[in-house]
Structure 1
Amino acid sequence: MQSTILIARQYGSPDVLELITHDLPPLAEGMARIKVKATGINPIDARRMTGEFKHSSLPQTFGTEFAGVIAEINSNKTLWSVGDEVLGSGTNFTHATVIDVHINNLIKKPENMSWSVAGSLAGVAQTAMTILDEIGPVQSLLVHGGSGGVGSVTIQLAKEKGIDVVATASVHNQDYIRELGATPIVYGSGLIERLKEIHPEPFDASIDLIGNEEATETSLATVKTNGFMGSIAGKKLSSSKIQAVWVKRNPANLKYVVDRVADGRFSWIVSREYPFTEVQLAYHDILEGHTKGKSVLTY
């Protein structure tokens, strides 16, 4: 079986991205071979492409989440079968037509869930669940960048726990933040003062989903002493008081969020869909930012 895989042989703009096709090796023990139907694009993918994050050697591959159909299995100790519709986190990459994934990373795709939605959830769901676990029991939370995929799920998980949430977003996404259950506020000049007006008491915790200096300074000024301040930016920030939060892969956590999206308890938006052949445009748009929900590649 062949797979067409997205790679970059050098760092740079989306022009460095190319699709290559090669024969797949024999399937390893404990793995499932998946024909991908949809796969989410995360900001970290584009930032790795540019070289801002250099987490792997060149050439590099991309993608962490997928939804698809099992084409082959190499395990006698599994309830999965060829033809099953699944979603989950990829082992090495997911921006490809066929991928090999460990069977422990799979969960069943709900029948009423579209491929685009199913392929966009694994990364954000597990990241958001990790954030809530790291934050612990709090009464109030400031979310920097609430309108993206991780922010959307984090807000809803927090509201489910009864946490009072304020979230920053662009002026265009204020209504969306409100619909998710948080108090919206536009980021930019005067943010600290405006936050203190709408939320006079210091926050118990904050989470930075953007990774800029405004988020760092605002958290330091509005979160209570010894309160939790975290970031998923994955880069060094100007203050050591902001703790790095790294996603913990957990299919049970993924299923928790997927079930809530499937039955309508959680809102979820796939705002942009791109054919796999238009991946350069997709990555260009991700770099532009101001994302609402999630962007997805379809096959």
Structure 2
Amino acid sequence: MRTSTMQSKILVASEYGQSHVLEFIERTLPALAEGMARIEVKAAGINPIDARRMTGEFKHADLPQSFGTEYAGVIVEINTTQPHWKVGDAVLGSGYGFTHATVIDVPIANLVHKPENLDWLTAGSLAGAAQTAMTILDEIGPTQSLLIHGASGGVGSITVQLAKERGINVVATASEKNQNYLAKLGATPVVYGAGLTERLKAIHPTPFDASIDMSGNEDATQASLASVKKGGFMGTIAGRKLSSASIHAVWVKRNLHNLQYVVDRVANGSFLWEVSRSYPFEQATQAYDDILNGHTRGKSVLTFD
């Protein structure tokens, strides 16, 4: 363990708005608490919820607020007697308040070792999607058919592959440009938008056992209500107020076993994973703009020198 002070550059916003509200601040980190690791961040995933927190559409914390839920990096200081963690270890995991910063303090209990064959971009973007996807399938329970709305993002990509691994018939919606991508993951792809319910019934005439919405729009809501069997599970991770109370919010449950399960499958090539866009940390405003302006295939990631 080291006890030297360390500076971190942190992305924050003191008000709600578009990306112009983002700014960088320098902060001296406090002495490292017991059971914590100090991580020099190499890559950190960006999720739609980060951008929506910035605008104030989703209010999760008091102002000023910081951002990010996942990362990969190197341990530069540690406060534990556990022998399997040491300074210099490459790790990934979930954050402890924020991860869009050059140096972060996180609980050791949030860490998994980064496999050597995972590049930093992949490692830094997995934790949130992996644990959310596993939470979704745990909430749904045993099922034979699943409808996923807005499935081309990070959570959707992993959810499709986990579901297929369990023998579930998956129909997934995305934009026209991402249809081949969904098919490659193992889903039956459908273009979202007007007429979605009719397209779904043509492809899957019998009601679905369950649905999960990752877009939060009205087309998805109505399609789930019309396409899922009576009493079937209908969930959403979009964090938006929907027009139907029958669609229940699903919130991620952090679980290292679940995270390790997905990391192992990405590392051995069993699961596909795509980072479609990466940005130097200094270009975070552009990254947040792009998240707000369109759906990302796979994940967007901030990188750190």
1:78 is displaced (CA, Å) by 4.7
Q: Structure 1: state its 5+ residue gaps.
A: none
CA distance, structure 1, for counterparts of residue 122 and residue 100 of structure 2: 16
Q: 2:156–2:214: 8 Å Cα contact kept in structure 1?
A: yes
CA distance, structure 2, for counterparts of residue 212 and residue 53 of structure 1: 15
Aligned match of 2:291: 286
Q: Secondary structure at the match of 1:277?
A: helix
Aligned match of 1:122: 127
CA distance, structure 2, for counterparts of residue 228 and residue 57 of structure 1: 33
CA distance, structure 1, for counterparts of residue 133 and residue 27 of structure 2: 35
1:72 equivalenced with 2:77 (yes/no): yes
Q: 2:114 aligns with which of 93, 109, 113?
A: 109
1:267 equivalenced with 2:272 (yes/no): yes
5 Å-filtered alignment, 1:32-71, equals 32-71=37-76
1:134 equivalenced with 2:110 (yes/no): no
1:290 is displaced (CA, Å) by 2.0
AA of the residue aligned to 2:29? L
CA distance, structure 2, for counterparts of residue 238 and residue 166 of structure 1: 23
Q: 1:209 aligns with which of 205, 214, 220?
A: 214
CA distance, structure 2, for counterparts of residue 88 and residue 223 of structure 1: 34
CA distance, structure 1, for counterparts of residue 53 and residue 286 of structure 2: 16
1:95 equivalenced with 2:100 (yes/no): yes
1:214 is displaced (CA, Å) by 1.0
1:160 equivalenced with 2:165 (yes/no): yes
CA distance, structure 1, for counterparts of residue 224 and residue 66 of structure 2: 34
CA distance, structure 2, for counterparts of residue 194 and residue 171 of structure 1: 13
CA distance, structure 1, for counterparts of residue 10 and residue 83 of structure 2: 27
Q: Is 237-246 or 151-160 further displaced after alignment?
A: 237-246
CA distance, structure 2, for counterparts of residue 78 and residue 19 of structure 1: 35
CA distance, structure 1, for counterparts of residue 266 and residue 87 of structure 2: 25
AA of the residue aligned to 1:220? L
Q: 2:171–2:188: 8 Å Cα contact kept in structure 1?
A: yes
Q: Secondary structure at the match of 2:215?
A: coil
Aligned length: 299
CA distance, structure 2, for counterparts of residue 78 and residue 31 of structure 1: 14
Aligned match of 1:26: 31
What is the aligned-residue identity percentage? 72
1:84 is displaced (CA, Å) by 0.3
1:243 is displaced (CA, Å) by 1.0
Aligned match of 2:3: none
Q: Secondary structure at the match of 1:38?
A: strand
5 Å-filtered alignment, 1:158-197, equals 158-197=163-202
5 Å-filtered alignment, 1:220-299, equals 220-299=225-304
CA distance, structure 1, for counterparts of residue 11 and residue 234 of structure 2: 35
Q: 1:16 aligns with which of 2, 21, 24?
A: 21
AA of the residue aligned to 2:172? A
CA distance, structure 1, for counterparts of residue 30 and residue 19 of structure 2: 28
Q: Secondary structure at the match of 2:125?
A: coil
Q: Structure 2: state its 5+ residue gaps.
A: 1-5
Q: Which deviations, in whole Å up to 9, do the C-alpha atoms of 1:138-186 show, x marking residues without a partner?
A: 0000000010000000000000000000000000000000000000000
1:82 is displaced (CA, Å) by 0.2
Q: Secondary structure at the match of 2:43?
A: strand
CA distance, structure 1, for counterparts of residue 117 and residue 68 of structure 2: 24
Q: 2:194–2:219: 8 Å Cα contact kept in structure 1?
A: no
Q: Which runs of structure 1 show a deviation greater than 2 angstroms over 4 or more consecutive aligned residues?
A: none
AA of the residue aligned to 1:210? S
CA distance, structure 1, for counterparts of residue 286 and residue 221 of structure 2: 31
